[in-house]
């Protein structure tokens, strides 16, 4: 396998890896959005529950009901805290996936540049070979034409 062919294969592989990194980033961003959606739901529900109970301030509540309400809000806050950590973890995964995509894109760009330079060099070499052959043919024609002039007699 020529080195040019090896670079073509390497560029194709780098392109597939870049595409896989892009798909992974999309997947991770989707998971992050889902985690954020769950956090928003938890916070919204906690706010709604607190607002509902806040409207009941003027009412007399049984101590057990108040205790259960406080426990429930505590659980909601705990769940929201856990979900915040999940979102933070997803943020880290998104950052890692972005970095991996960037690295894959840089690798692909460098391979394409090397491939472009090699192809240009091969084209220059081919052009020099063709020019050399053309020059040699022209020199042979001149030599051949100089030897056999029908007007001249040989000594």
pLDDT tens by residue, 76-133: 999 999 999 999 999 999 999 999 999 999 999 999 999 999 999 999 999 999 999 9
Query: Tokens in use for 121?
Result: 């060099």
pLDDT tens track for 58-92:
666 678 887 888 899 999 999 999 999 999 999 99
Choose the CATH number for 3-56+66-133 among 3.30.1490.100, 3.40.1180.10, 3.90.190.20, 1.10.287.1700: 1.10.287.1700
CA 125 vs CA 2, 119, 122: distances in Å: 15, 10, 5
The per-residue pLDDT for range 14-73, each reduced to its tens digit, is 999 999 999 999 999 999 999 999 999 999 999 998 888 766 656 666 788 878 888 999
> Rounded to two decimals, what is the model's pTM?
0.71
Q: Would you list the domain boundaries of the chain?
A: 3-56+66-133
């Amino acid at each position: 396998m020529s080195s040019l062919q090896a670079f073509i294969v390497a560029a194709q592989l780098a392109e597939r890896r870049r595409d896989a990194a892009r798909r992974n980033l999309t997947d991770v961003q989707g998971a992050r959005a889902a985690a954020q959606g769950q956090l928003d739901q938890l916070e919204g529900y906690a706010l709604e529950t607190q607002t509902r109970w806040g409207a009941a301030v003027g009412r007399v509540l049984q101590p057990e009901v108040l205790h259960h309400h406080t426990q429930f809000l505590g659980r909601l806050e705990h769940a929201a805290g856990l979900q915040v950590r999940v979102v933070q973890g997803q943020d880290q995964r998104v950052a890692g996936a972005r970095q991996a995509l960037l690295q894959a894109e840089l690798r692909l760009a460098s391979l394409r540049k090397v491939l472009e330079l090699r192809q240009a060099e091969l084209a220059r070499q081919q052009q020099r070979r063709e020019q050399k052959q053309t020059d040699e043919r022209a020199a042979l024609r001149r030599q051949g034409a100089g030897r056999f002039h029908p007007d001249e007699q040989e000594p």
